[in-house]
Amino acid sequence: MCVSKRDRAHYKKHKVEVKKAQKLRLTRMRDRYNMWKSQQGCCFCFETEACCLDLHHVDPKEKDINVSSLLKTRYSWERLMEEANKCVVICSNCHRKLHAGLLALS
């Protein structure tokens, strides 16, 4: 039996458990990510509330994917951090000011 058939059979047999495990994994990943953002804080105003913090790619040419997209899928923490390390943590208000040209990254 090939791997994909085995995986489909396992999923079909254990659908509820698999979905529960996936949801738990994503919740843990999101919690870890929010804790990381809070520890970093906004690079301009030092806001630390995770719900207020965004990531801004310093060099758009290096951007592979949105970090939020990585959080919604089955990528590893290491892959998420690889992309996050191309960014600065910035609060939503400062992020808007940055894009409006009122703030600049040094």
Question: CA 91 to CA 31: how far, in whole Å?
Answer: 18
In angstroms, the Cα distances linking 49 to 12, 19, 106 are 40, 29, 23
Q: Are 53 and 36 in contact (CB under 8 A)?
A: no
C-alpha dihedral over 28, 52, 99, 40, to 10 degrees?
-60
- Report residue 64 CA to chain centroid gap: 13
Q: What global pTM score does this model have?
A: 0.84
Residues 79-106: tens digit of each pLDDT: 999 999 999 999 999 999 999 999 999 8
Residues 46-77: tens digit of each pLDDT: 999 999 999 999 999 999 999 999 988 889 99
Mean pLDDT, range 23-47, rounded to an integer: 96
